[in-house]
Structure 1
Amino acid sequence: MDFGSFLLAPEIKVKIITYRDIFQDKAMRENRFGEEYKNLSAVIKLDPADLKQLNVKKGDTVILKNEFGRVVVRAEESGYETPHRGIAYMPKSPWSNMLVSDETGGTGVPKFKEISVTVTNAKGEKITELMV
């Protein structure tokens, strides 16, 4: 066993903003449990500097966790020109919903827009599977 195996993987805290995606919606209508829907939905888009800090490359998997859940998704670069460290984007999906609080503040509507999570490198873990 080498010394590096005892070091913790870098982690960062981000706020996730969820959004709707027309391509993801089309894939969901065709097959909610299909690979295309999973590839378009189980993804988090991060600032390039955040990816670098995590030592994660585009397409690697990352662990997202908070007090409400834990999920493994694929990391992508956001593609925005303006830096947005600490802000990440995720399509509304079963994967993002695993991190949403059940507390609604009496409104009956969960808070989907500012989900606080810790992100770490998943080191090859597979994307979290949906239970059918």
Structure 2
Amino acid sequence: MSKEKNGKEIVCTMISGRTLEQAKEMHSGKNSKSYSEAVGKVYVSPLLLNELGLAEGEKIVLKSSFGRAEARAYVDPGLPHFVVFIPMGPVANLLVGYETEGTGMPSFKGVQVEVCGAC
């Protein structure tokens, strides 16, 4: 079981976008296992993964003022320490609000989330 370092939640900024893996697997259908796996990931810095006491591929919990989501954590060494990247899709949708501010689409960038290994 994953353990949470010091029992704390770490506040991070979530950004979301499309990934190449997601685009490739979209052709299998959005109900396919391969697509679900492609969008069920959260990319974090190696430092954040270590701070959470997690290994790559373990479940990570994210909470925002809009909802809660779980996904598998993967390292992206290019991400800043307190930034997490989530492919646009079901996981990200659970963490963003419904307000579109006239654009027709909610903001998937700059959402504050609390991140932990098992909270």
What's the TM-score once normalised by structure 2's chain length?
A: 0.86
Q: Deviations over 1:69-98 (max 9, x none)?
A: 111100011132xx6111111111111111
The aligned counterpart of 1:64 is 62
Taking the aligned partners of 1:79 and 1:62, their CA distance within structure 2 comes to 17
Structure 1 residue 119 corresponds to structure 2 residue 118: no
Gaps of 5+ in 2: none
Q: Deviations over 1:11-63 (max 9, x none)?
A: 21111111211321221221212221121111111111111111111010011
- In structure 1, runs of 5+ residues without a counterpart are 1-6, 124-132
In the TM superposition, residue 108 of structure 1 has moved relative to its aligned partner by 3.0
Query: Corresponding residue for 1:101?
Result: 97
Q: Which amino acid aligns with 2:82?
A: G
Q: Which has the larger radius of gyration?
A: 1
Could you say which residue in structure 1 is the equivalent of 2:11?
Answer: 13
Change (3 A) 1:8 1:52: closer
- Are the aligned partners of 1:65 and 1:118 in contact in 2 as well (CA < 8 Å)? yes
2:62 aligned partner, one-letter code: L
The partner residue of 1:50 within 44, 48, 51 is 48
Contact 1:64–1:70 under 8 Å retained in 2: yes
CA distance in 2, matches of 1:92, 1:118: 18
**1:95 alignment partner AA:** V
CA RMSD of aligned residues (A): 1.9
Give every structure 1 segment of 4 or more consecutive aligned residues whose post-TM-superposition deviation is greater than 4 Å: none
CA distance in 1, matches of 2:77, 2:103: 34
